[in-house]
Amino acid sequence: MIYTITFNASLDYIMQVPDFKEGETNRSVKEDMYPGGKGFNVSTILQRLGYQNTALGFIAGFTGQQIKKELTQRGFICDLCELETGLSRINIKMKGQKETEINGNGPYISSGKLAELMDKMDTMKKGDTLILAGSIPSSLPDDMYEKIMAHLKDKEVRILVDATKQLLLNVLPYRPFLIKPNHRELEEIFQTEINDQTELISYAKKLQERGAMNVLVSLGKEGALLIANDQHVYYCPGAKGTLINSVGSGDSMVAGFLAGYLKHQDYSEALRLGSACGGATAFSKDLALKETIDEVYQQLKTEVIQ
């Protein structure tokens, strides 16, 4: 079974405000609302690619119930811990000449509810896959991902981590199957400016040396690099299309990479499908549908560059 965890679930309220003026009353011309959370995004794309999975995480209040209702309609299993107090957050994403976000803080997660989540993970077994993606709420310890990987280290669970800075560095000794920094995040980790592909590969390999089995570096419209566990470096150019939505593109890439690897046990194919899913979501209003992913997949080709 594949599992995802979303610690800080949200309802994403998307408002189209073509001519936003600070300090004045603004009116949107269109609104949409979707369940948000990186783990939920991964679960959605996996389901659309035909991979049944279970979404773990926390929800609270009437917003939490709406999140659960909408996620259940997407077809994957929702095994969520329901908090006694508070509300799952609402994130406002305002799209105009620039894209502005206001993200809520999220409800308090008690030690008892955290223990409930850990109990759910105790059912995982050898061959299962877990995706850890997104930020950690302020009510949980900063090393939450590290604690989870330590908890599961004897179960031989394949773990993918999409996180930033110290949250990512802390998990490397536990040999995650995949990490996915982007160009900017690599610069932040190593506190340096990275100017070309050679330097990108060099710094990504440093993360591999610290423990990551595979390092997937997303480069936006320039494509993606994969420093793979088979000692090769793969490159996939960026898909061609009109950017509509950047939210969820990275999560879609993670889902596609995993699906491609599980289907073919081949890193080149994993990178190709991951890139297709990321691009397809970027070209869609919401997370990509299977038809769009298939269309983008056909235009992509990976190559071994080292």
Asked whether 239 and 299 are in contact (CB, 8 A), the reply is yes
C-alpha 205/C-alpha 208 separation (Å) is 5
C-alpha 242/C-alpha 210 separation (Å) is 37
C-alpha 247/C-alpha 193 separation (Å) is 25
Asked whether 83 and 64 are in contact (CB, 8 A), the reply is yes
Dihedral of CA 138/143/147/153: which sign?
positive
Q: Which positions are catalytic?
A: 251
b/e sequence 100-131, b meaning 16+ C-beta within 10 Å: eeeeeebbbbeeebbeebeebbeebeeebbbb
Closest CA to 203 of 174, 239, 230, 179: 179
